[in-house]
Chain A
Amino acid sequence: MKNKTNQTTIIYILASIFLAIIYREVFSIVFPSNPSSFSLLNNILFILFSGIILRYVLYKNDIRNSEIYRKLKNTNNEIKESNEKYDIVSKATSDIIWDWKITEDTMTWNKGIESVFGYNQDQVGKTSEWWFDNIHPEDTIKMSIKLYSFIEQKTEKWQDQYRFKCADGSYKYVLDRGFILKDENGKSVRMIGAIQDITKQKEEEQRLKLLETVITHTKDSVIITKADLNDGKFPSIVYVNPAFSATSGYSSDEIIGKSPEVFISTNADLEEHQKLINAIKNKEECQIETLSYKKNKEAYWVNFNMLPVYDSEGELSHWVSIQRDITEDKKQEVEKEQLIKELTQNNKDLQQFSYITSHNLRAPLSNLTGLLNLIEDIPIENQELKEIIDGFNKSTHLLNDTINDLVKVIIIKDNPSIEKESLMLKDIFEDVFSQLDFLIGLHKPIILFNFEEISFLNTNKSYLESILLNLLTNSIKYKSENRKLKISIAAHDLGDSVILIFKDNGIGIDLERNKDKIFGLYQRFHDYPDSKGLGLYLVKSQVETMGGTISIESKVNIGTTFTLTFKNR
């Protein structure tokens, strides 16, 4: 810079001197007679002098120029830096930055609009209308009222929470904060804001609110206490729910800071109480039943459950205690026990009664049969007497059979658990068939067996035999006259149970009409002279006494199938 100033000054001086010399030469040629009127020395002095002045002016100017340049450069740098910072922040923040020029109503969004809400840049509207259109309808009014009162400078700050629609149609909860730029007249011209996605926080907040309703609405009392024992006593209470206040009569203000010993009876059950203290010492979950006292000293039974709660560092922070009023349960339990006791006694009495009754019926009846047996050997001449005694004989035997059947029922019903043994199915059937030798010989039914899957059955021998005898005699008794009787018996292993399927092609039973009566006592479905209506009742009783079930399928004139299911073990 200085060099240039010097250079300019030197050029000026040299040029001026050169001009002064030229001028002097021309002057001496034109006016040779008057040389004294021109002084070269004076001119040169003048030139040098003006050169110094020029240099000074140039120098001053230079200084001012360089000052301006320096300032300009600084401003420039600041702007550049600020722009860079904005870019970096805008890129780094997860917030969505928007810039709204209010007077022109143009709006621009940063990249966040894509990364958070999923909008491509070409999907994003250029005006504020697009912004408002995407706010959840329920939030729009409240949000715009707040925003416009801010723009009109009625409020200092603006921040708001609302739901903003994503590109996929779902909504996200956002927190939007903005500031405003004003022109020289104080009018709002531009607004810049930052939107933060707070969906997760909102959801968590709602989840917590929901969870809180459980505690505030449950009928069980909930108490939260501190973690540590308070001088060997229960830790002090920090929270009680409304249910606790409602049950106990203590308001939360009264009870917070105190120990649960205020209401838990310490001497009702020392063992249970100690159990609880030990659990607190060992930081273990504990459940006891104890007497608790209301504020009015009324006692009630509670199921008291204490759970340790740990903080994020795994340190015990609190105890949560849930208490259920079980006074009613306790009362019912006592009533139930009393009822069971009474019923058991009743049952025993009835059983005894039935034994005595049957004994007292059987005793004279056995005399009658005994006497009739004796008459058999005495010849009776009188025809009328003979007929009378005959009728007497038949009635006595019928009465005897009925009573014997009833006795069988009483004995089965009296044996709720009977002894079982592992028996070979084949052997049982052989036994049963030998007892029915006569009937089988008479009717010659076709009998098919399928015991391939299972050959042993854990059962009671006499019951199973009686069941099979009844079913077989039924099949023979109620066989069809039009076709040869076919009986098939199969056993299947179902793992934990065994089923026996007993099928015949007899006359069947009309189940539509008799479904409810089929296994009933003294129910008869065919008018056969020797049918008493006892067989299936006995079968069902015996199956059930052995812990099994029986079901029937039957079609008139096609046949009947019984399915017996027994537990295997």
Chain B
Amino acid sequence: MLETILCIDDDPITLMLCKMVIKKALFSNEIATAKNGEEAIKHFDNLKTNHSINKPQLIFLDLNMPVMNGWEFLERFITEEYSEYHDTKVIILSSTIDPQDLEKSKKYPMVIDFLSKPISKEMLEFLKNKI
């Protein structure tokens, strides 16, 4: 079981579903959430100063989000500024069907998988083995 994970998605129902499934599957103890890329970046900025918060071991990242989308988040996250979190793995969890998105995701070394929504127990079992 993982200690902490971060779910980034603009849809509250998706976030709710994530929490419920993750809890049920006993995938992680703690689940942090962010409504878009910018909130996620802020979360990491907080982590730098506030050491009482655990840093996430895994991120579930949606692509289509307002303010800062998944790609923009990855562009920021990959910079030196966040190098201390580069061991955090990223799973893209999206409803996209654009094949170019899959190709694009391969550019980022921390992205270890590209999965289609909805999140499910089976999916988490598969990830447990992969991590």
* Residues on A facing B (Cβ under 8 Å): 355, 358-360, 362-367, 369-371, 373-374, 377, 407, 410-411, 414-415
For A360, the chain B residues whose CB sits under 8 A away are: 95
For the A-B complex with A363-B14, A374-B21 known, give 12 more contacts whose Cβ atoms are closer than 8 Å.
A359-B64, A359-B94, A359-B98, A362-B97, A366-B117, A367-B17, A367-B117, A369-B118, A371-B13, A373-B120, A411-B97, A411-B99
Which residue, of A360, A362, A365, A367, has the highest number of chain B Cβ atoms within 10 A? Answer: A367
For A364, the chain B residues whose CB sits under 8 A away are: 11, 13
In the complex where A367-B118, A370-B119, A373-B118 touch, is A355 in contact with B96 (Cβ < 8 A)?
yes
List B103-131 residues whose CB lies under 8 Å from chain A. Answer: 116-121
Q: Decide: A362 and B21 in contact? CB cutoff 8 A.
A: no
For B121, the chain A residues whose CB sits under 8 A away are: 373
List B20-58 residues whose CB lies under 8 Å from chain A. Answer: 20-21, 24
- Nearest B-chain residue to A369, judged by Cβ: B118
For A358, the chain B residues whose CB sits under 8 A away are: 95, 97
In the assembled complex, 7 residue pairs joining A and B whose CB atoms fall closer than 8 Å, in A order, are: A363-B11, A367-B118, A370-B117, A371-B17, A373-B21, A373-B120, A377-B24
For B11, the chain A residues whose CB sits under 8 A away are: 363-364, 367
User: Smallest CB–CB gap between A184 and chain B, Å?
Assistant: 116
Q: Tell me, in angstroms, the Cα distance from A377 to B94 when the chains sit together.
A: 25
Q: How many residues of B contact A (CB 8 A)?
A: 20
Q: Decide: B95 and A355 in contact? CB cutoff 8 A.
A: no
Q: Tell me, in angstroms, the Cα distance from A360 to B117 when the chains sit together.
A: 12
Q: Tell me, in angstroms, the Cα distance from A270 to B120 when the chains sit together.
A: 70
In the complex where A367-B17, A370-B21 touch, is A359 in contact with B97 (Cβ < 8 A)?
yes
Q: Decide: A370 and B17 in contact? CB cutoff 8 A.
A: yes
Which residue, of B11, B24, B98, B120, has the highest number of chain A Cβ atoms within 10 A? Answer: B98
Q: Decide: A367 and B13 in contact? CB cutoff 8 A.
A: yes
In the complex where A366-B118, A370-B117 touch, is A359 in contact with B96 (Cβ < 8 A)?
yes
Q: Decide: B97 and A370 in contact? CB cutoff 8 A.
A: no
Which 9 A-B pairs have CB atoms at the shortest separation, nearest pair first? A370-B118, A366-B117, A362-B95, A366-B118, A363-B95, A370-B17, A407-B97, A367-B13, A355-B98
Q: Tell me, in angstroms, the Cα distance from A360 to B96 when the chains sit together.
A: 9
Q: Tell me, in angstroms, the Cα distance from A410 to B98 when the chains sit together.
A: 9
- Nearest B-chain residue to A407, judged by Cβ: B97
Q: Tell me, in angstroms, the Cα distance from A367 to B95 when the chains sit together.
A: 10
User: Smallest CB–CB gap between A365 and chain B, Å?
Assistant: 8
For A367, the chain B residues whose CB sits under 8 A away are: 11, 13-14, 17, 117-118
In the complex where A366-B117, A370-B118 touch, is A355 in contact with B21 (Cβ < 8 A)?
no
User: Smallest CB–CB gap between B15 and chain A, Å?
Assistant: 10
In the complex where A371-B17, A374-B20 touch, is A366 in contact with B95 (Cβ < 8 A)?
yes
In the complex where A367-B13, A370-B17 touch, is A359 in contact with B95 (Cβ < 8 A)?
yes
Q: Tell me, in angstroms, the Cα distance from A374 to B118 when the chains sit together.
A: 11
For A355, the chain B residues whose CB sits under 8 A away are: 96-98
- Nearest A-chain residue to B20, judged by Cβ: A374
Q: Tell me, in angstroms, the Cα distance from A95 to B67 when the chains sit together.
A: 106
Q: Decide: A374 and B17 in contact? CB cutoff 8 A.
A: yes
Which residue, of B14, B21, B116, B117, has the highest number of chain A Cβ atoms within 10 A? Answer: B117
User: Smallest CB–CB gap between A440 and chain B, Å?
Assistant: 26
- Nearest A-chain residue to B18, judged by Cβ: A370
User: Smallest CB–CB gap between A368 and chain B, Å?
Assistant: 8
Q: Tell me, in angstroms, the Cα distance from A415 to B14 when the chains sit together.
A: 31
Q: Tell me, in angstroms, the Cα distance from A369 to B121 when the chains sit together.
A: 13
Q: Decide: B117 and A362 in contact? CB cutoff 8 A.
A: yes
User: Smallest CB–CB gap between A393 and chain B, Å?
Assistant: 14
User: Smallest CB–CB gap between A75 and chain B, Å?
Assistant: 117
- Nearest B-chain residue to A354, judged by Cβ: B97
- Nearest A-chain residue to B62, judged by Cβ: A363
For B96, the chain A residues whose CB sits under 8 A away are: 355, 359
User: Smallest CB–CB gap between B98 and chain A, Å?
Assistant: 5
- Nearest B-chain residue to A377, judged by Cβ: B24
For B117, the chain A residues whose CB sits under 8 A away are: 362-363, 366-367, 370
User: Smallest CB–CB gap between A297 and chain B, Å?
Assistant: 53
User: Smallest CB–CB gap between B63 and chain A, Å?
Assistant: 9
User: Smallest CB–CB gap between A377 and chain B, Å?
Assistant: 8
User: Smallest CB–CB gap between B100 and chain A, Å?
Assistant: 9
User: Smallest CB–CB gap between A215 and chain B, Å?
Assistant: 59
